[in-house]
Structure 1
Amino acid sequence: PEKIRIASSERLVGNGFNPNEVLQLFLNDTMLESITTDQNGNFITKLNIPTTAKIGINDFQIKRQDGVYESTKLKINDSLNRFYETEHRFGITTIPETVKLEDTLNISGTAKAQSGVILSFKAGNVLENKHVVVADTAGKWIYDKTIGSDILVGVKSIIIENDQKRILKNITVTSDFVFQMTSLSNQYDIGDTVTITGTAEANQKLILTIKDPKSDTILFDTIQADGSGKFEYKFPVTSTFTSGTYAAIVKTLNNNSEAAIFGIGSAPTDKIVVLLDQLNFQTTADLTLRVVGPSSSTLNVRIIDSGDNIKVTDTLTTNSAGNGQITLDLNGYKSGVYRAVVSYTSIEDIAK
């Protein structure tokens, strides 16, 4: 265009980039949008000049995937009409960089009044879910959903689009827990393959244990997360497996741990797995007790000394994925061996 103006929408054409490269477009220190080049390294997009842009010379930058910036100067002129309505211009008003499991993800923006906006959530090239929201009569839309605990942590791509434009954004899903794992299926039968997947630190070595319905260890192995932190472990279900509820427990070399529950021959029933980040504690330290058990439930916690005296009675509440934790002050404890007993109705697990 001859003149670039505030609140205008300008056609931007680029070439000479890497194929399928993710680029971030900045005006001064404000990121306008993320785009992806085509298989030839080219792109065409509409650049929306924000109403908050300064009149005069501005820095326009393209951040490449390797962190290198391509930059130029843009002269931005005042809008032809200061009172131009921008409510119906398609765009994003708010989107967080990170969100925790069990927290609410809030994304808002503007679009044509009463038009549909599609939000597609992807992990890598895998489409995880898709939602449609509708802009109100003022052209404003909002996406407001809780991130369930069954969602794997990590970077997620969100494609936000209507019938005219699409915008790519990345957010990072985090967790209060050290790492995350799940069983690919809730129930397996003879002849099936049990598949345990999860995320941990990149290239981290892990120790995996499978416990049967009697909590006896039937399988012990070491695995390693890949460069993106993902790990997977498979084993066949043979006729030697008894029917019941099993637990897969994965530990790091520094004793951080996670567990997943699944059934063989029948659907899993309620089971509790107590996880400790270490086995020896100083009396001046705090004990963090993590539990995998029945979802959205209140579990009883007791600390019992070697003389069978109950030192502490408390409760913890699990989230929708069955994860929960409690921190106990060990000040005043005498040296010795203690048992942490976590129970719910008729089931319990014990850690020393």
Structure 2
Amino acid sequence: MLRILFVFFTSFVLIGFSLDDVFADEQEITSRIFSFETTSIIEFTNNGLEEIKTIRIWLIDSSFISFKLENNWTSPIASLDTIIFTTSEPIKTNEIVKLGIKTEKSNLLIHWEVYDQEDNSIEVGKTPSEIMQSFVSEPEVIIEPVGILPESTFKVVPKNLHPGSTIRVTGDNFVPNSSLKLFVNDSRLKSFVTDENGNFMLTTKIHKTTKAEQVNFVLKDKQENEKIINLYLTEIEQKISKNIDLTVSEIQNEFFRTERLEFSGTSNPDSLIIIKIKNPQGNLFSTKVQNTDFQGYWSTSIDIPFNAQIGKYSAEITDGKNILTKSWDVITSKKLNIFPTKLSFKFNELIKFNGTATPNEQINLILVGPQGNSVLSKNFVVNTSGFFEIEYPTTSSSLEGTYVLYAFQKYETQIISVGLDTYPKKVISTQLNYVNYHNSDVAIIGITGEASQDISLSIIDKNDHERFNDKIKLDFSGKRTYLLNLTTFPPGIYTVLVSMANFQASDKFTVDLQSSHVPIDFDMLKNTYYQGDSIYITGTSQPHSKIHLFLIDPDETIINEKETFTNKNGNLFSTSFLIPYGELFGK
């Protein structure tokens, strides 16, 4: 018996669901694919008793370019690797439906899943192409995937714009995983893909040559559907230069030999920053000199030698007017170590990690998938041996690509990448150690990307205003742990946004939200789950509240817990639990 327990302030809700060990009878669906070069006709025959309403198809090693539908069929979701077809006239027993697709590559293996009128899965399969010399007739019209819906909206900030301005563009209610292009008048600024929820957030720059006048910000999808915002660009005003206070970002309390220590902060533009580092005896260990850029940002780093003395080090940072100090301990060896059993896994395999950490201490682990969303999270106390294992089950429909595991224990962080059906690639990704924080906390942010790349880190508040910004550099392995002091952050919901060239990643967190006093009106997609399934949880409660979720097994043991929150409308921020293999059956 598995249960979910929602805990918040003075009240709680206990939710139950069953975990069956009986699998549904298979339904027979016949599929054939006839291909000529990169154009294919997919034929599905319903040999079962259930009527077919929805068909999902996806590719592993290619991309869709376009598709054609029969009458009464539509495609509510179409992306580069997945298309969902649905009909107003379900396919009855012994009836056939034919769908046309065009792909980047030829001779493909098409993966598919068929659903009934209640959105229950009837059958999952994969079908190879049957190569033809030619088609008797080509599809009449190939329809490009739609990306913009009538309810789609976007906005541009800040309000005061000039030629050359850096802008942030956010959008909601677009087709998930759809390709869009952003223009200013007829000049393209950026191409991008929406996330799995149909939203996006991006940073780009208006060309300096753009005239200071009323301009159109235009979003277009592949069908040339448009959403337009009219804004004015004004001439850049000459500003009187002002002094910027010397600041230094937070650093960890402990570092290990051979690790890299990063300093960053602000001061007056085009000024000189001098950092003097002293060893545990108070003697000068190293000196670094760094210029600020034209905006006043600066950053530099030192590599701790393998034979560095153990003990407390200090740094004196000055811009010639002000002096700030930082200190840290250099310790002997890392306590948190995690290793994947291999770098590349196949579909239907368990992605598995072995690790050691400080015994009897809390550890937080998050596995981020290829689309940048959390696919697994675990929060537990490490046993007395210090050893633990992490497993994530994959299926034939799992997303191919790079998966990034983030591990946090106190101030120690480890980031490991693996690949599913490929070797891991350097991808930009970010993850916080928690979701809900107090104003007195220091948030730990893990970041990955290209080796030694410059990264822009921004904190965005609920009104899309930039609350904090820093420019940092990833280490030689393409990783970085960033400490964010939250003492100046008022209560609210925030987004951490990391950007590198044309790529970006984000994660959400809250500061000083109160626990809800209102029972949760929750919803789950179904009541019966199997080992390895994900339980997706949605619901409503008191707006702007923090919520703690527990997954409890039939023996009353907590097997997982999660933090989440509600937005200004009281909607629960999307979250899920993964049912581990080996758990007890029951409710």
Normalising by structure 1, we get a TM-score of 0.43
Bigger relative contact order, structure 1 or 2 (CA pairs below 8 A, ≥6 apart)? 2
Normalising by structure 2, we get a TM-score of 0.28
